[in-house]
Structure 1
Amino acid sequence: MSLRRKTIEDIELTNKKILVRLAELDVAIEDGKILDNHRILASLHTIKFLMSKNVKAIIMITHLGKPHGQKLEKLSVKPVADELQKLLDREIIFVHECIGPNVDDVCNNPVPGSIILLENLGFHIEEEGKVDEDGRKIRVEESTLRIFRDSLSKLGDVYVNDAFSAAHMWHCSINQLSNEIKVAGLLMKKEIDSFAKLLEKPLTPFAVILGGSKMVDKMLIIEHLLERITDLIFVGDLAYTFLKATNKMEIGKSNFDEDGAKLVPRIIEKAKFYRVNLILPVDFVTGDKLDEKATMGKAKIKDGIKGDNIGLDIGADSLKKISQSIMKSKTLLWTGYPGMFEWEVFSKGTEGLISWISIATKKGTTTVACGKDTIKCIEKFKAFHKFTHVSLGSEAGMLLLEGWLVGWLVGRIVG
């Protein structure tokens, strides 16, 4: 099925009030200051586009953190308003609520061209339900939910969903608003278009770099992508499990996924059927303990990882082997890191991987990164610009890659 959906580029916007559901703004804040603004920067394309269309007002709503219905000052989006004001060089009107008389006073008849940010939606349990002591979500009463929903819906003539990162969630602001006109924003469009390049007739050769600790967590992705890809590259703990299961390689105290090892023959069989190259590391950087100050060593497949040593990164030969696949690819997906990138001595494999992907991006390869831990790698090395697209919707993106929830997920994006 096509992932294409109507966007703000497809409709008339002049003199309309636009209600924009921004992406989840889980930015680091210290003393009221934004420490890393890349998630805010990602939303600017939509905001600037709307500013250029002579809209009556841009009214923005969003989440920050997990307040679970409590009003927590540390999770106020006021610092986001301040950051947006600096980035756009325009006044951002911040309202300390997201519904109620104060919001209505500001939003009902705004000065033309106003840009307004409302307080954290998560301060109201109606947004995503209340969480009990066991961590389970409890739905609110329908009558209460209706008031919250209607209070938000009436703020805009057009509803714009730019929150791909929450597209799979039950949030009132995502799939319950009653605006007649609902479209996707430009960040949502970029996310969908990027995944479409992976899932709808991708250019080949198509390489997938896959890491993680549990094979079962990646099986749906593997099985959904195998018929589309050329090379499947295993790194990190997945590689140790694969190598022990197939080569009987010693892996020392490296993580071994016993249940995942039982899935390896199935992966090999399907890869053979679809003529997919399975690529694995051939050498490793090891440590004598799981610690930043571990004594570093080296190991190769033929010798294995001995004793109590742990594989903590890929070696130079592995990086060279993987780089050959990266450089011949026309499409590339990366999800899962090859080593303990948080520790300098064991981060060279990850850093090298990003460098080769950057070179591939410059030569025209479509390079997409997805996954919470992968984004942490990219944040550490300040490498967002080195990819065609880094998806900020970790869970939503993984669901699309798994395939079986695609219709359900995309159907909810813009109502």
Structure 2
Amino acid sequence: MHESFPFRTLDVLPVVEGRRVLVRVDFNVPVDDQDQVTDDTRIRGALDTLMELRRRGAELILMSHRGRPKGWGGASMEVVVPRLSELLECDVAFIDDIAGDRAAKKAASLRPADVLLLQNLRYDPGEKAGDRDFARRLAALGEFYVNDAFGTAHRADASVALLPTLLPGYAGRLMTHELLILSQLLHDAEHPYWAVVGGSKVSDKVELLDALLDRVDGLAVGGGMANTFLVAEGYDMGASKVESEAVKTAKRLLDKAAAKKVPLLLPERVTAAKDFKPDAEHRVAKPGELGADEMALDVAPEAVDKMLETMTGARTVLWNGPMGVFEWDAFSEGTLRMAEGLANSSARVVVGGGDSVAAVARAGVQDRLFHVSTGGGATLEFLQGKPLPGVEALINSIKG
């Protein structure tokens, strides 16, 4: 067992040569119209675990979900096979079955270092329902269980929360690394510690912001949620998207930050437009100086620079959420400027959340940041101090 964790890792996995190992991976990857994988980050994330298990002679049975299919069909896992085979440098078998007779027969035919990918777990309603009978049928395919899908650790799905109660469970290399980095951030971050939080809604991140204000030395807020904070401070934000029902919450968080003497930075300039569309004409304006028909769609680059300047000297930075509508070039500059600025800083920068990950990838700075988390909701819930069902299941897993 890893000295930092109360669960077993691959370091203590018994001899697995010629034995079947069920591996929960997160291959929920995007594909284009030709079913070609357009971003293989999640596949690459599992390679350390999969290659290690193959070297050890295990017979691998991989399980994942992809998308939100309604019943059997659509979002097939088969589209992952070509890229996975290429990255593993071996043939990967696929079976259009999950835990039925065909899957069992195929699993029984595996030889050491073989790799079999099952069909989309979510084709079976038992996965999302956390159905124990479905979990038993999955467990019958293997002898050991490895969870390397940190991005799903916050879900109580059958393959995540129940399989470790039926098979001896172990954390894969990606899972272990994510929990090591995020545990340090939660319990032992080097100070000064700043957080940069963006995204569209305050209501989606109230618990995260509350938790961060108890731990950080400073907080910068951007994205659409900054509009709600600015309204709470008394600014007229014109036609900007504002959560009127969350203004009181924003005011409470501002008061909490003031009481704790934690600087809470809001944009001093925004990029505003009259139309919510990619090619809308836009201008830079101060909060409170927007026309009645103008909306803030990005934090202006000079305002991002001011935030970065204020954070100079930070030893740790957590970034979650974009500064604006970064999918549109005209309103991406704030997010890209933040990505570049953090990459140029001397701080340990941890990026968590799907949109933030996409932003640093677009900026091309992933390799210059300390850690880019593969978890979205799992990362946020862990940093709020919430127990994750997938991790709790590994902690309480049966002995091998």
Q: TM-score, normalised by structure 2?
A: 0.89
Aligned to 2:20: 17
Question: 1:95-110 residue pairs with structure 2 within 5 A?
Answer: 95-110=95-110
* 1:233 maps onto 2:220 in alignment: yes
Q: What's the offset of the Cα at 1:39?
A: 1.4
- Deviation track 1:340-397 (CA, whole Å, cap 9, x = no partner) reads 212212211111111112223xx4x322222233334345445543433233321222
CA distance in 2, matches of 1:406, 1:100: 32
Secondary structure in structure 1 of the residue aligned to 2:290: coil
CA distance in 1, matches of 2:58, 2:390: 31
CA distance in 1, matches of 2:50, 2:249: 46
CA distance in 1, matches of 2:101, 2:277: 54
1:401 aligned residue (379, 383, 386): 383
* 1:221 maps onto 2:208 in alignment: yes
1:199–1:329 Cα change, 3 Å: same
CA distance in 2, matches of 1:211, 1:325: 17
Q: What's the offset of the Cα at 1:282?
A: 1.1
1:245 aligned residue (232, 240, 258): 232
| Kept in 2: contact 1:313–1:347 (CA 8 A) | yes
Q: What's the offset of the Cα at 1:154?
A: 2.5
Secondary structure in structure 1 of the residue aligned to 2:203: helix
1:158 aligned residue (144, 166, 173): 144
1:256–1:120 Cα change, 3 Å: closer
* 1:366 maps onto 2:348 in alignment: yes
CA distance in 2, matches of 1:402, 1:114: 39
- Deviation track 1:140-162 (CA, whole Å, cap 9, x = no partner) reads 6xxxx52x323321222210011
Secondary structure in structure 2 of the residue aligned to 1:319: helix
| One-letter identity of the residue aligned with 1:352 | R
* 1:89 maps onto 2:89 in alignment: yes
1:51 aligned residue (51, 54, 61): 54
Secondary structure in structure 1 of the residue aligned to 2:176: helix
Aligned to 1:304: 289
| One-letter identity of the residue aligned with 1:22 | V
Aligned to 2:391: 410
* 1:283 maps onto 2:269 in alignment: yes
| Kept in 2: contact 1:126–1:172 (CA 8 A) | yes
- Deviation track 1:279-330 (CA, whole Å, cap 9, x = no partner) reads 12111221122222222212124x6223322112222331211212444222
* 1:355 maps onto 2:343 in alignment: no
1:407–1:236 Cα change, 3 Å: closer
Q: What's the offset of the Cα at 1:123?
A: 2.1
| One-letter identity of the residue aligned with 1:198 | L
Secondary structure in structure 2 of the residue aligned to 1:60: strand
CA distance in 1, matches of 2:119, 2:358: 27
1:402–1:266 Cα change, 3 Å: same
CA distance in 2, matches of 1:352, 1:120: 38
Q: What's the offset of the Cα at 1:401?
A: 2.5
| Kept in 2: contact 1:165–1:394 (CA 8 A) | yes
| One-letter identity of the residue aligned with 1:128 | K
Give the gaps of 5 or more residues in structure 1.
Answer: 130-138
CA distance in 1, matches of 2:142, 2:64: 15
| One-letter identity of the residue aligned with 1:276 | V
Task: Figure out how many residues of one structure are paired with residues of the other and give that number.
Answer: 391
Q: TM-score, normalised by structure 1?
A: 0.86
* 1:197 maps onto 2:184 in alignment: yes
Secondary structure in structure 2 of the residue aligned to 1:106: helix
- Deviation track 1:255-291 (CA, whole Å, cap 9, x = no partner) reads 2222322123422332233331111211122112222
Aligned to 2:244: 258
Calculate the aligned-residue CA RMSD, in Å. 2.3
Question: 1:131-150 residue pairs with structure 2 within 5 A?
Answer: 145-146=132-133, 148-150=134-136
Q: What's the offset of the Cα at 1:176?
A: 1.8
Aligned to 2:9: 7
1:348–1:182 Cα change, 3 Å: same
Secondary structure in structure 2 of the residue aligned to 1:406: coil
| Kept in 2: contact 1:326–1:357 (CA 8 A) | no
* 1:120 maps onto 2:149 in alignment: no
- Deviation track 1:208-247 (CA, whole Å, cap 9, x = no partner) reads 111233323322112212121011101122222222322x
Give the gaps of 5 or more residues in structure 2.
Answer: none
Question: 1:266-345 residue pairs with structure 2 within 5 A?
Answer: 266-301=252-287, 304-345=289-330
- Deviation track 1:72-104 (CA, whole Å, cap 9, x = no partner) reads 1x4221221221111111121222222233322
Secondary structure in structure 1 of the residue aligned to 2:204: helix
CA distance in 1, matches of 2:5, 2:252: 30
1:3–1:212 Cα change, 3 Å: farther
| One-letter identity of the residue aligned with 1:224 | A
Aligned to 1:135: none
